[in-house]
Each structure stands twice: as structure tokens, then as C-alpha cells.
Amino acid sequence: MVGLKAKKSIAHGQIMSGAEMTLQVLAEEGVDTIFGYSGGAILPTYDAVFQYNKNNPEKQINLIVPANEQGAGFMAAGYARASGNVGVALVTSGPGATNTVTPVRDCMADSVPIIVICGQVARNAIGTDAFQEAPVYSIMSACAKHVFLVKDPKQLAATVRTAFQIARSGRPGPVVIDLPKDVQNWQGAYDSESVLQLHGYQERTNSVSARRMPEKKMESFFKMLKQAKKPLLYVGGGAVISGASAVLQCFMKQYQIPAVTTLMGIGALDTTDALCLHMLGMHGAAYANYAVDDCDLLIALGARFDDRVAGIPHKFAANARIAQIDIDAAEIGKVKAVDWSFAGDIKTALSDLLEYGKEFSLDHSEWVAAVQKMKETHAFNFNRESDIVQPQEVLQELNKITEGNAIIATGVGQHQMFAAQYFDFKKPRTLLTSGSMGTMGFGLPAAIGAQAAFPDALVIDVDGDGSIRMNIGEMETCTTYNLPVKILLLNNHGDGMVVQWQSLYFDNRFSGTDKTLHSKDFVKAAEADGFGFARRVTKRSELEEALKAFVSFDGPAFLEVFVDKNSFVFPMVGPGMAYKDMMTGPYIKSRSAGPTDGTLDTSDSF
């Protein structure tokens, strides 16, 4: 069924091919960049990109061609994460489509809005095992927010337009359009007004997004807040997606409530603010985790109590009443039973609460003072006396240069956690990382996508030698398009996070994780890919100058730093542990000096 809800464009009624219609909708949706790799089944649409740009010299749609389609998907994700707009990937059928499965699932897990348009064999060949055919609808349905297989070319424009609505509405996510080649070649009149009617979907999402908090609900919230002596905000990625940072900051200040954030919530609050306790969870700040243990009211805002945070749910915030606000009603009470909840937009909900409670004066000074003391006592720390370069020191020094004003993308592993711990993030959408899926190889293409969204921004990919190998072909993409991405490679010659687990739980049996047997010269690889700045640091004395030169270089830059392979990520809440038992390692002060202080003998780790 097709409805008339979109605004009529000047192209309405013009005769176009299906491919040209696709490009026209993308342009009308504000798309300025497409990431993708061509191939037989998507060639008509790639030709339409060329023709569109030829006919619209003042409103070009940039095309960035990656090394492979997984890179295209993660570039679209980086673009979306950094800008808040829908990212677009355009790939061919068969292996082109299946190569995007991982970024689609990654975006679904982290609520990131992208559109993946996949070429498909002609409609009459679907199901015949035709050349480069894959069952995209079946594969992607398990991974995406929604999948369309376009069978009726008359509904093509409406389908593409609807895909954008679905991707960005409610809880955002990836939408896949499976586009047969003959539909791309079909000719017809362009319909610029129609969207598909998805029986109740739009009504439900609009209802939740626009919902205002009832007075009785606000009254009961403030009753809980007034009773609380140690309230704590638990801020997740939903606060970033909602655009709630400003009102959240006001709420925190108005009622003097300290806040912890999830990995995805970093940046929703200025991490340098005295009331921000940084990240909680498996590798969160010790003081953040201790604050969760101590609090008597935990206010969850766009956070879903995932296993890397809640661990053992009944031991998580065991002394606290739970309040939860989330736009996705399915997340409320899913993991942890709640005492108060509201399903709606976080920005709107907090605005309503601020207005209702503007006359209330609450005194949490004693709790805030206790939290500040914890921040001092249990601060992040590392081995500052070692002659070997410590990864934490690298990021700490880089943070002094960037002053919290860079967009940081990361791969996945120890370097990811060190980046979350040691960088300042003053604004939302400045930490781009694969949270729920934990996808190695994410960092470099995501940084490219962010740089495409913000050409003048300082964008840094913090990566590891294991993670960067996954999508190392995208180094050439930086130089091909002269995107000034800065790639910082922390090389510990191994899969550091897995090595850490093997050291702690597998009696130093390093099966498959030792990369010293590999002979990759990353600096030469960067030079081969055209990097004008490609350097290596092996000594602490070289670090400061190299980092300054790296950041200030005009263009793509690559800096490899050899770091201590025995430098582990602490704190760590291991499997089966509660926060009170977390390992703080040898350099972070624990509340206890028992066997869970994390002190390890790693002298023979390899």
C-alpha cells in the first residue's frame, strides 16, 4: 500500500529509470556522500551516480570507493555515528551484499542509522542460483531493522524514501534495500510524494517519540529522587542519539547528581565535568563502579543494562531503586527489574522533568563530596616508571594535544578501552567505536566515514596491530581521496585483549594470539599506500615530538608506536564477578587489598 506523505519535488512526474529514481530520492533525503563498490548487478545505479553528478555540478553526491564492501558499510556507519545523519552504502549482489552483513549487524547492535542498497539479479532469475546471487532478504532479516526486496518498480521511490524514515525514526538502525537489476533499468514516471504504509509502525514510533510525561509520573519520580541520598545517573548511547546532551547536563547540574556513562554514552556528558564519573562496567573507572555499588537510586537514561555493564544483574546496583527512561519499551525491565519507568524520547522526558521540578531544591552535597573523594582515590593509573612505552601514556599525551576536541575512532581490543579511559570527550559523537558487536577492523573505515562527514575536523583512528589488519586495505582509501585521517597504531605484537584473558584464565597458553611471527612492516605499508607521514616510535623520549608532528601534519598521517605487550587493561570486572570484586591491577587503588586486587606476575606472559 502506498500513501502520499512526502513533499513533491520539481522532478515529480519526470520519466526516469529505476536507478535514476534511487539517486533522486537520495538527493532529496540530503545524502551528500555514498560509500560503495560497484559490480554487475548494481551498475545501472552507479551509472546513475555519474549522470546525477554530471547534471548537478553544484550539488554533487561524493562517491568514496573502499577496498571492500565491509569497509563501505563501516564508512557509512562512521559517517552516521559522527553526524547523526543516515549513512549510505551502495554495493553489488552476492559477495558484495554478504560482505556488508557484519556492518549491518554492528549498526543494529549500536542503533546506528544506515541504508545499504544491494544490487540483486533480475527478478526472473531470483532463486535460480544465478551468478553472484545471494538470499539477501533472508540473510539480512536477522541482522537489520528492516529489509526490502523491491519487486514492484512503481514502488521503488516510495521504498527508498520509507527506508530513510525507518532508519532514523524511533530507535535508529540499518535498513537494507535489495534492488534487482531489471528494476534499476525499468523506466517510469517519478513519484516524489509516496511512502509505504507500514501498518502501524509510523504511528507507534511517532507516538513514543512525541510522548510527554504525565504529571503523576513526574510526581512519583521526584518522590523517589527526594528520598534518595545517593542518586546516580546511568547514561547510555540513547542519550547521544536523542540529542539530549544539553538538557542532560542541565539536569545533572540542577539536582547535583553524579553520572556514569556506558561506552556508547561517552560524550553525552563532558568527561572533564566534576560530576561526570566517566565510564562504568567491565573496564570502567573503579570509582564509577564503586559509585554504582554505593548509590541508592540509579537513573538509567538510554542504557540497556548489557552484560559488559550489569554483569551479574542481581548484584548490579544491588542497594538501589531503579528508574529507567528509554525510547524502546522492550528495553525497560528486560535485564533488571525497575521501580519507575517511562518509554519515550530522553531529551523530551528530561525537559519535562526539569520544568516540573524547577522549584525543587535537593541537597546531595555529601554524596557529591564522597564521589569526588573516590575519583581522587581510585583514579585511572598505569606503570609510569617503565622504560617501555605504555599504551596509556601514548593516549594521555595525545589527549593533551587534542584537548578533547578530536573525533576518535577505534578498533576493538585493549587500545579501544585505553582510548575510552584516557581521552577527554567534551561533545557527543566524538567517540566512534563498535560497542555491542565489538568488531575488529571497525576503526579505520569508521574514521574515513567521519572525515567525509566533517572534512575539516581532526579525526584520529586509534588502532591495534590485530584490529587494523582486518581492514588494512582502507589505508589506501585515505590517500586516494586525500582524507586527512590520522592513524595511530599501538603495536603490542599480539591480540592484546585475548592475551590478557589467556594470561588471567588460561594459564598463559597463548593459542593463536602471538603476532611476533608475522613480518608486517606497517610503516612501509603506509608509505606504499601513499602516506606522506609514516613514522614509528620505539622509545618514550621520541613520543611527544612524534605525536605533535603526527597531529599537525597536513594530510593523511600514520604513526606506529611499539608498546608494552604486558600492559593490561585495568580495572577489569571478570566473568562471575561483582563490582566490589573487580581487579584494579597493580597501579589503581582498590577498596580491598585481597586476592581480587588484580596484581599479576606477567614477566613470562609470552
In the prediction, which pLDDT does 606 show?
Answer: 23
Alpha-carbon distance of 78 to 84, in angstroms, equals: 10
Annotated active-site residue 222? The verdict is no
Domain co-membership, 354 together with 445: no
Residue 358 domain flag = yes
Q: Quick check: 400 pLDDT over 80? A: yes
Annotated active-site residue 51? The verdict is no
In the prediction, which pLDDT does 361 show?
Answer: 85
CATH code of the domain covering residue 152: 3.40.50.970
Task: Please state the rounded mean pLDDT for residues 572-599.
Answer: 80
- Residue 7 pLDDT class (50, 70, 90 cuts): low
Residue 276 domain flag = yes
pLDDT tens, position by position, 468-519: 999 999 999 999 999 999 999 999 998 989 999 999 999 989 898 877 667 7
Q: What is the percent of the chain where pLDDT is above 90? A: 88
The residue out of 345, 377, 409 marking a domain boundary is: 377
Alpha-carbon distance of 150 to 162, in angstroms, equals: 12
Annotated active-site residue 69? The verdict is yes
Q: Quick check: 371 pLDDT over 80? A: yes
The residue out of 167, 190, 207 marking a domain boundary is: 207
Q: Quick check: 138 pLDDT over 80? A: yes
Q: C-alpha cell of 351?
A: 525537559
- Tell me the DSSP string of 263-298: TTTTTSS-TTSTTEEEE-STTS-HHHHHHHHH-SEE
Catalytic, out of 131, 223, 355, 520: 131
**Number of domains within the chain:** 3
DSSP state at residue 494: B
In the prediction, which pLDDT does 315 show?
Answer: 95
Residue 587 domain flag = no
Alpha-carbon distance of 104 to 58, in angstroms, equals: 32
Domain co-membership, 537 together with 429: yes
Domain co-membership, 432 together with 561: yes
In the prediction, which pLDDT does 517 show?
Answer: 63
Please, what's the b/e burial string for 217-238 (b: 16 or more CB within 10 A of its CB; e: otherwise)?
A: bbeebeebbeebebbbbbbbbb
What is the widest separation between alpha-carbon atoms in the chain? 76
Domain co-membership, 201 together with 329: no
Catalytic, out of 20, 29, 69, 393: 69
Task: Please state the rounded mean pLDDT for residues 543-568.
Answer: 97
In the prediction, which pLDDT does 6 show?
Answer: 64
Task: Please state the rounded mean pLDDT for residues 368-397.
Answer: 97
Report pTM. Answer: 0.94
Annotated active-site residue 132? The verdict is yes
Comparing 93 with 11, which gets the higher pLDDT? 93
Q: What average pLDDT does the structure give for the chain?
A: 94
Task: Please state the rounded mean pLDDT for residues 434-453.
Answer: 97
Q: Quick check: 544 pLDDT over 90? A: yes
Q: Quick check: 604 pLDDT over 80? A: no
Catalytic, out of 132, 197, 256, 372: 132
Annotated active-site residue 497? The verdict is yes
- Residue 599 pLDDT class (50, 70, 90 cuts): very low
Residue 598 domain flag = no
Domain co-membership, 203 together with 58: yes
Domain co-membership, 302 together with 184: no
Catalytic, out of 497, 572, 582, 583: 497
Residue numbers of the domain that contains 36: 2-207
Domain co-membership, 255 together with 140: no
pLDDT tens, position by position, 65-87: 999 999 999 999 999 999 999 99
The residue out of 138, 172, 207 marking a domain boundary is: 207
pLDDT tens, position by position, 214-226: 999 999 999 999 9
Catalytic, out of 145, 181, 336, 375: 181
